[in-house]
């Protein structure tokens, strides 16, 4: 198979686009496609400061690389969750540090959950038996992202979610008809409160194999190991199922997610679930919350 | 044997695998020779931590 642009041997074949490209032209293509997506979905402009949440995985580091190449004003945030003694979190942080050093990004931020709040996420989960580590982790990360973005004056928080991530979550939510989630899952979540920055996913139209290929071709070291708590995660199983569909019908994953967005927009699906919720400010941290008194994050740290 | 056939022979899903031959990323129609050094990279990642729908302020 040959590169459509130069005729050299192709490095990747994107069946859903009927497009094969060599390494050089693929990385160029991915950068300009990301730029088009950012512009088409009005994610952010060049005059805005963007906080990018990085995990040390392929998607977030590839996105960091792409946003820097495009000249956006981006600052990274790494949240040290304290997972696995000298294991997962330590290694993923090392990947972030290595990439930052390589691109000369000296001003990335690190929030160490244990140092800042007294307990790592696994310790918190152990104490709060009955709550799953992954849901606690999501809550902690969202709070820290929102707070860092607000305190740092950032316009938007970007994450490295790709199309496979989004399609798997959609599949999961549709299987259970979780209408609240189905109403809100989106590549751009506008700010609904002065303390909540816009959330954007510039890679949401890219397949996971494309972001992985980009990281490889750009020699970006990323953490291959999965978070130990995600072993056997249903999201991974759903991704495998969607890949089976994709193998039979090229473009199936993309069509599943994009036609959902279109149907919701054009036909007003889940409109009722979309109503704005009234937000008050947490008595302790000031972050928006639907509860009165303390927000869900601050309640986590209450003893007992 | 093509890269795709090799991946399938290992009972892996070609959609979820990238093939590196002699240090170069190749498409799955590439013929692999005995002397080639081949590395397979799994691309699927992510548990719920990153994939939970973000930003939803749910009613309690």
Strand pairing report for A109-112 and A49-54: unpaired
Residue A107 is part of a domain; what is its CATH number?
Answer: 3.40.50.620
- Determine contact: B37 vs chain A, CB below 8 A: no
Nearest to A81 by CA among A58, A56, A98: A56
* Nearest CB partner across the interface for B13, out of A137, A142, A240: A240
> What is the reported pLDDT for A82?
93
> What is the reported pLDDT for A264?
94
Indicate whether A134 belongs to any domain: yes
Helices (H), chain A: 23-40, 58-69, 88-103, 113-117, 121-127, 133-151, 163-175, 179-184, 208-217, 234-248, 252-267, 296-300
**Segment holding B50, helix H or strand E:** helix B48-51
> What is the reported pLDDT for B55?
36
Question: How many residue contacts between A and B have a Cβ separation below 8 Å?
Answer: 144
Q: What is the pTM for the complete model shown?
A: 0.93
Contact residues for A167 (Cβ-Cβ < 8 A; gap 6+): A239, A242, A253, A254, A256, A257
Indicate whether A115 belongs to any domain: yes
- Determine contact: A134 vs chain B, CB below 8 A: yes
Indicate whether A18 belongs to any domain: no
Indicate whether A2 belongs to any domain: no
Determine the Cα–Cα distance for residues A146 and A69; give it in Å rounded to an integer. Answer: 25
What average pLDDT does range B29-54 have in this prediction? 76
Range of the domain at A82: 32-300
Determine the Cα–Cα distance for residues A158 and A145; give it in Å rounded to an integer. Answer: 10
> What is the reported pLDDT for A304?
55
> What is the reported pLDDT for A292?
86
> What is the reported pLDDT for A279?
87
- Tell me if B46 and A141 make a contact (CB, 8 A cut-off): no
Backbone angles phi, psi at B25, to 5 degrees: -70, 130
> What is the reported pLDDT for A242?
97
pLDDT at B51 over 60: no
Indicate whether A228 belongs to any domain: yes
pLDDT digits 0-9 by tens, A161-198: 999 999 999 999 999 999 988 999 999 999 989 999 99
Between B50 and A184, name the one with better pLDDT: A184
Q: Which residues of chain A have pLDDT under 70?
A: 275-276, 303-304
pLDDT at B54 over 50: no
CA atoms within 13 A on the CB side of A303: 1
Q: What is the DSSP letter of A276?
A: P
Indicate whether A108 belongs to any domain: yes
Contact residues for A223 (Cβ-Cβ < 8 A; gap 6+): A55, A56, A57, A88, A91, A92, A95
Determine the Cα–Cα distance for residues B27 and A282; give it in Å rounded to an integer. Answer: 52
Indicate whether A208 belongs to any domain: yes
**Total count of domains within chain A:** 1
Residues of A in contact with B27 (CB under 8 A): 1, 9-13, 20
Contact residues for A189 (Cβ-Cβ < 8 A; gap 6+): A198, A199, A200, B54, B55
How confident is residue B50, by pLDDT bands cut at 50, 70 and 90? very low
> What is the reported pLDDT for A201?
98
Indicate whether A278 belongs to any domain: yes
* Nearest CB partner across the interface for B49, out of A138, A196, A234: A138
pLDDT digits 0-9 by tens, A114-155: 999 999 999 999 888 777 888 899 999 999 999 999 999 999
């Amino acid at each position: 198979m040959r590169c459509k642009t130069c005729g050299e041997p192709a490095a990747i074949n994107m069946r859903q686009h009927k497009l094969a490209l060599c390494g050089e032209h693929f990385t160029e293509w991915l950068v300009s496609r990301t730029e088009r997506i950012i512009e088409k979905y009005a994610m952010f402009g060049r005059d805005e400061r963007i906080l990018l949440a990085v995990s040390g995985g392929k998607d977030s580091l590839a996105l960091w690389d792409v946003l820097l190449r495009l000249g956006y004003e981006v600052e990274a945030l790494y949240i040290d969750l304290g997972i696995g003694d000298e294991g997962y979190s330590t290694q993923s942080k090392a990947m972030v540090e290595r990439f930052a050093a390589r691109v000369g990004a000296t001003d990335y931020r690190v929030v160490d959950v244990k140092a800042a709040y007294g307990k790592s996420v696994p310790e918190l989960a152990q104490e709060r038996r009955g709550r799953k580590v992954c849901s606690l982790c999501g809550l902690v990360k969202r709070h820290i992202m929102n707070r860092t973005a607000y305190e740092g004056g950032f316009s938007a928080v970007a994450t490295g979610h790709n199309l496979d991530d989004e399609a798997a979550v959609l599949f999961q939510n549709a299987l259970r008809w979780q209408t609240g989630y189905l109403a809100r899952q989106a590549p751009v979540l506008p700010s609904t409160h002065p303390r909540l920055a816009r959330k954007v996913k510039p890679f949401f139209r890219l397949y996971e194999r494309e972001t992985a290929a980009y990281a490889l071709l750009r020699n970006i070291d990323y953490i291959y190991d999965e978070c130990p708590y995600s072993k056997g995660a249903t999201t991974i199983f759903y991704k495998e199922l969607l890949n089976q569909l994709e193998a039979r019908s090229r473009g199936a994953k993309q069509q599943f997610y994009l036609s959902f967005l279109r149907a919701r927009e054009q036909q007003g699906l889940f409109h009722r679930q979309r109503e704005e919720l009234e937000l008050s400010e947490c008595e302790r941290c000031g972050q928006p919350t639907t509860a009165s008194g303390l927000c869900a994050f601050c309640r986590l740290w209450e003893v007992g | 044997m093509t890269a795709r056939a090799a991946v399938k022979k290992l009972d892996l899903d070609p959609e979820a695998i990238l093939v590196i031959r002699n240090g170069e990323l190749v498409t799955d129609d590439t013929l692999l020779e005995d002397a080639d050094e081949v590395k397979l990279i799994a691309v699927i990642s992510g548990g719920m931590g990153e994939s939970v729908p973000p930003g939803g302020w749910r009613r309690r």
